[in-house]
Amino acid sequence: MSKKPPAPMPSKAITRRNRRNAYLFLLPNFLGFLVFTFIPVIFAFALSFTNWQGSNKMDFIGIDNFIRMFGDSDFTISFINTVIYTVGTVPFIMLFALLLSMLINSGIKGAPIFRALHFFPHISSIVAISVVWQFLYNNSQGPINMFLRSIGIQNPPGWLSSATWALPAVMIMIIWKYIGYYMINYLAGLQAIPKDLYEAATIDGANGIEQFFYVTLPQLKPTTFYVLIMAVIESFKVFTPIHVMTQGGPGRATSVLVYQIYRDAFVNFEMGYASAMSMALFVVIFVVTLIQFKLQNKYEN
């Protein structure tokens, strides 16, 4: 609170009033969260212990759903795919986003234009992007393979129709799409670094590379941490590009967890089992995030 000197009013009353106002302001958002997120999550948690299939009587079946997951090749395959997808996208997104933001921050001509251009994929609809990339990836007539052939690659990958390349194809597209968004995050982080740190480093004789490792990177730690967590969560939740571009195929080569959950819930109507899988997804993301928090604390101390 500001320190306007003479306020001999009963401060308790003021605090109470302020609190009430604050809670009132929070209420709409909190209500939305409660009704559309919190209660459903609790329900999903309860559902995960039942065999509910949409219309039948809900029977409590203990942890059967969770046991079933381990024997379910649909689950294990989509889990592995999700991990591959996350490991294969997040580091690249972060790396490219950082490089780009430094490039733009370095004061090159037309920086605002580049910034806007790179942000463009982020504001475009993911469905539209997926459809366009589907054509780019076309086996014989897609621009990507035409280019590859023109530079002398005789047998370019079949991309979306190849079980080996379909997932990398989606990953490449996603890296491209998200770079712009996280670049903006990094840009904000970079601009918040006080100039005098660089000046001091220059006086101490640090060259560009040393400045990057001893000034820029440490100063960007909070941003990096934020970007890492958001990107990991985002990638565990991937659904739309898969749904649009491959429907999990060919075979099950691009089936990811959320897509599998969707299929079990709304195609096969295994609501209980699908809820159990979403709980498993929750646990995975929770653990990953927890580890990241721990690591961050460790590095900060």
Partner 1 sequence: MLKKILCGLLAGAMALTMFAGCSGEEGTTSGEGGSTGTTESTGGEEGGDASGEETTLRLSLWDYETVGYDKAMVEAFQEANPNIKVDVVSTPNADYASKIAVMLSGGDEVDVFYIKSNTDYPTFVMREFVRPLSDLIEANNFDLEPYGTVLDQHYRMDGELYALPYRTNDWVLFYNKDIFDAANVPYPTNDMTWEELAEIAPQVTSGEGGSKIYGMYYQPKVSFILPFMVGYIDDYDNMTSDLSQMAYPIQYFIDLQNSGSYQSYAEAKSMSQDQTYFFNGLNAMFYDGSWFVQMLCDEESVDFEWGVAKSPYWEGTEQKGFATTTPIAINSTTEKVDAAWQLLSFLTGEEGAMVMAENKMVPGYMSDAVMETYREVTGIDDSSYEALTNNVTYGFGEPNTVQGLLTTAFQEELELAITGNQSVEQTVANMESRRTEIIEQNS
- When asked if residue 271 is in the footprint of partner 1 (CB under 8 A), the reply is yes
- When asked if residue 128 is in the footprint of partner 1 (CB under 8 A), the reply is no
User: Strand, coil or helix: what is 50?
Assistant: strand
- When asked if residue 233 is in the footprint of partner 1 (CB under 8 A), the reply is yes
Nearest to partner 1 of 145, 216 (CB atom)? 145
Q: Which residues of 181-215 are buried (b: 16+ CB within 10 A; e: fewer)?
A: bbbbbbbebbeebeeeeeeebeeeebeeeebeeeb
- When asked if residue 240 is in the footprint of partner 1 (CB under 8 A), the reply is no
For residue 36, the minimal CB distance to partner 1 (Å) is 5
- When asked if residue 261 is in the footprint of partner 1 (CB under 8 A), the reply is yes
User: Within 10 Å of residue 148's Cβ, how many Cβ atoms?
Assistant: 15
For residue 291, the minimal CB distance to partner 1 (Å) is 14
Q: Dihedrals φ, ψ of 53, to 5°?
A: -120, 20
One-character DSSP codes across 92-143: HHHHHHHHHHHHHHTT-TTHHHHHHHHHHHHHS-HHHHHHHHHHHT-TTT-H
Q: Which residues of 257-295 are buried (b: 16+ CB within 10 A; e: fewer)?
A: bbbbbbbbbeeeebbbbbbbbbbbbeebbeebeeeeeee
Length reported for the chain: 301
- C-alpha of 170 from chain center: 14
Question: Among residues 219, 250, 292, 296, which is the contact residue for partner 1, using CB under 8 A?
Answer: 250
Question: Among residues 137, 178, 182, 186, which is the contact residue for partner 1, using CB under 8 A?
Answer: 137
Q: Of 118-126, 156-164, 170-178, 216-224, which part binds partner 1 (CB under 8 A)? A: 156-164
- When asked if residue 122 is in the footprint of partner 1 (CB under 8 A), the reply is no
User: Strand, coil or helix: what is 62?
Assistant: coil
Q: Of 23-31, 54-62, 185-193, 207-215, which part binds partner 1 (CB under 8 A)? A: 54-62
- When asked if residue 72 is in the footprint of partner 1 (CB under 8 A), the reply is yes
Count Cα atoms within 13 angstroms, Cβ side, for 11. Answer: 7
Site track 165-204 with partner 1 (rule: CB under 8 A), x = hit: ----------------------------------------
- When asked if residue 266 is in the footprint of partner 1 (CB under 8 A), the reply is yes
- When asked if residue 253 is in the footprint of partner 1 (CB under 8 A), the reply is yes
The answer to whether 232 touches 90, Cβ cutoff 8 Å, is yes
Question: Among residues 117, 251, 291, 300, which is the contact residue for partner 1, using CB under 8 A?
Answer: 251
Question: Among residues 111, 184, 201, 285, which is the contact residue for partner 1, using CB under 8 A?
Answer: 285
- Hey, which residues does 60 pair with through a beta bridge? 50
How many residues bind to partner 1 according to rule CB under 8 A? 59
Q: Dihedrals φ, ψ of 50, to 5°?
A: -120, 170
Nearest to partner 1 of 124, 268 (CB atom)? 268
Residues that bind partner 1 (CB under 8 A): 33, 36-41, 43-44, 47, 52-57, 68, 71-73, 134, 137-142, 158, 160-164, 229, 233, 237, 248-253, 258, 261-262, 265-269, 271, 274-275, 278, 281-282, 285-286, 289
